[in-house]
Structure 1
Amino acid sequence: MSPPGSSNFDPDPDGGAGRADDPLDTAVWRLRSRACWKDAAELLAPYAADDAAAALKRGAILIERCMYTSRGWDAADDALRAAEALALTDDERGATACERGYLAYASTLLGNRDRADEARTALGRAAALLGPGSPTRPLLDFRRGLISQHLAHNPTGAQAAFQRAHAGAAAHGDTLLRSFTWRHLAGMAEEEGNLAEARHGFAESLRIREELGYLVGIAPALASLADVEEEPEAGRLRAEAGRLVRLLGGVPVWLAEQLA
C-alpha cells in the first residue's frame, strides 16, 4: 500500500547525521543513509545490549527500514522492546514512547496492521514524559503532526505541529529533522496553491539532504520538487529521482511504484 500524499510523503528522521568525532556514529550514519539499515543495526547491536541510547538508535534505524521498504516489522518491534527495557529516565522513556508511537503509525499508514490507537497513546505518553526543553521534543511535535495529517485528517493541527517542530529543530541544531519539516510545510503550501512557498520549502529540504549525504532521502525530495516545477525541469528532476531509486534497489518502495 502506498502512503497518502503522493511524492510529498516520506519517512521521518530519528535525529541528526551523527557526530563527526564519533567513528561509530559516522559509520552507522553512512550505512543508514545508503539504505543499509540491517548493517547499521548490526554495528550497534553489541552496544545496544546494555546501553539505552544505542538500543534506542538501533530501534529507530529498524523502524526507518520499515517505512522505506514496508518490511522488517517484527525486527523493529523486538529492537524497540529491548530499548524500552533499558530506558530508566523520563527522557529515555519519553524517547522510546515516541518511537513506539511512530512504529504504530507506520504500521497503520502502510497497511501492515491498524495500530492507530496505539500510535496516539504512545505519543501522548511521550508528551507527558518529555520536558519542554528536551531535544526529542521537536521530533515528537513532528510525529504528532503526521498523526494529525494522515490519520486524523486535521490539516490545521498538522500545520501547527510542523511549525513547532520546524522551530524546535532549528533551536536544537537538528538539521536532518529540519529537512523533513521544510518538506511537510511545503507540501501543505502546495495543497493551498502557494507554489512559490512550496517550491522554496522543497528546494531547502533537498539542499539539506544533499549537504548531509542523506542519499536515501534525496529521491523523495527530488520528486516533490518536480511536482511544483514546470517542464522540462520537472522531467529532469523525476528522471534523477528514478535513477537514485534504482541505484538503491527500488527504495523507497512507495516512490518506486509512483515513478514506474
Structure 2
Amino acid sequence: MWRLRSRACWQEAAELLRPAAEVDPATALGRAELLIEQCLFTAAHWTAAEQALRLAEALATGPEERAAAACARGFLAYVASVLGSRDRLDEAQAALGRTSALLPPDAPGRPLLDFRRGLVAENLLRDRTAAWIAYRRAHEGAGERGDELLRSYTWRHLAALAQAAGDRDRAREGFDASLRLREQLGFTVGVAPALAALAEVSAPEEAARMRAEAARLVQALGGVPVWLARQLGAARAPGAPPDGRIGREAQGTIS
C-alpha cells in the first residue's frame, strides 16, 4: 500500500482497500485519507474523495473514530479551498474544531490536527503567528510519536515561515530536513516539492540542479503535483501560481 501511495498510485491503492472499507471504520478512513491526498496532489478527483469520506463518517462510532473522520473532513475542505472552485474555510474550521472537542489533549491524533490547523491559519487565514504555533505543536508531537512523514511536512512548513521572515539559514535547515526524511521514507511523490522548496534558499547553481531534478520527478510521476508542474513549467515566472488556479496569487506552502 505504501509503495502505491508514495508513487502517486492513489486510485490503485484505494481499490485494494475498497472491500474492507465497506465494513471497517479504520480502513474506510484510511481510504478516504488516500483519496484526499490524491486531491491535494492532482487538484482533481473530488467526488471520489467526498464519497469515501462520507462512508468513513457513516461507519465511525466512538469519539476517536468520529474525531479522525472530522479531521479528514477539515482537511478536504482546506484542500478544496486552496485548489478547488469555492471557499470552504468555514467548513474546515468547524470540522477541525469538532475534532479538537472530541480528542483528549494527549490523543495520538493531536499532532495531525495541529498540523492541519496550521495549514488553515497559514494559507486561508494568512495568520503566520498562529500557523507557526500550530506547526511547532505538530512538530513536537510527531517527534514524540515517531511520525516521520508528518515531521517531513512540519519541517517544510516551519521552514517556509522562516523563509517568509527572511531567515534563510533556518529555512534551508528545515527544507533540507524535510527532503532527507522524504527520501529516507521513500515518499517519492513528496520529494519534488521538497527539492523545489530547498532550491529557493540555495545557491544559483545548486538551485538549478534541484529544480531540474524536481521537474524530472514530476514528469516521471505523470505531472504531479500539478501545482508544482505548472510552477516548474512556467520558466520560473514571478508569481506563477503553485496551487493550480490560474490568476490566483501564490502565497504560502500548500503541502
TM-score, with length taken from structure 1: 0.89
Match of 1:75 among 27, 38, 48: 48
Match of 1:243 among 216, 228, 237: 216
3-state DSSP of counterpart to 1:113: coil
Q: Give the Cα separation in 2 of the matches to 1:86 and 1:51.
A: 7
Structure 1 vs Structure 2 CA RMSD: 0.6
What residue is the counterpart of 2:86 in the other structure? 113
Give structure 1 stretches of 5+ with no counterpart: 1-27
Match of 1:134 among 107, 110, 116: 107
What residue is the counterpart of 1:201 in the other structure? 174
Deviation of residue 46 (structure 1)? 1.1
Q: Give the Cα separation in 2 of the matches to 1:86 and 1:174.
A: 26
Q: Give the Cα separation in 2 of the matches to 1:151 and 1:113.
A: 12
Q: Give the Cα separation in 1 of the matches to 2:28 and 2:117.
A: 23
Q: Give the Cα separation in 2 of the matches to 1:113 and 1:46.
A: 32
What residue is the counterpart of 2:150 in the other structure? 177
Match of 1:61 among 24, 31, 34: 34
What residue is the counterpart of 2:5 in the other structure? 32
Match of 1:252 among 225, 229, 233: 225
3-state DSSP of counterpart to 2:204: coil
Deviation of residue 112 (structure 1)? 2.4
What residue is the counterpart of 2:64 in the other structure? 91
Q: Give the Cα separation in 2 of the matches to 1:202 and 1:223.
A: 9
Deviation of residue 111 (structure 1)? 3.1
3-state DSSP of counterpart to 2:126: coil
Q: Give the Cα separation in 1 of the matches to 2:85 and 2:78.
A: 10
User: Do the aligned residues in 2 keep the contact of 1:91 with 1:131 (CA within 8 Å)?
Assistant: no
Give structure 2 stretches of 5+ with no counterpart: 234-255
Q: Give the Cα separation in 2 of the matches to 1:228 and 1:32.
A: 29
TM-score, with length taken from structure 2: 0.90
Deviation of residue 113 (structure 1)? 2.3
Output the amino acid matched with 2:173. Answer: H
Match of 2:128 among 155, 170, 186: 155
What residue is the counterpart of 1:164 in the other structure? 137
Q: Give the Cα separation in 2 of the matches to 1:133 and 1:55.
A: 24
Q: Give the Cα separation in 1 of the matches to 2:53 and 2:176.
A: 34
The alignment of Structure 1 onto Structure 2 pairs a total of residues equal to 233
Larger relative contact order (Cα-Cα within 8 Å, sequence gap ≥ 6): 1
Output the amino acid matched with 2:230. Answer: E
Match of 2:204 among 211, 225, 231: 231
3-state DSSP of counterpart to 2:136: helix
Q: Give the Cα separation in 1 of the matches to 2:97 and 2:227.
A: 28
3-state DSSP of counterpart to 1:232: helix
Q: Give the Cα separation in 2 of the matches to 1:57 and 1:179.
A: 19
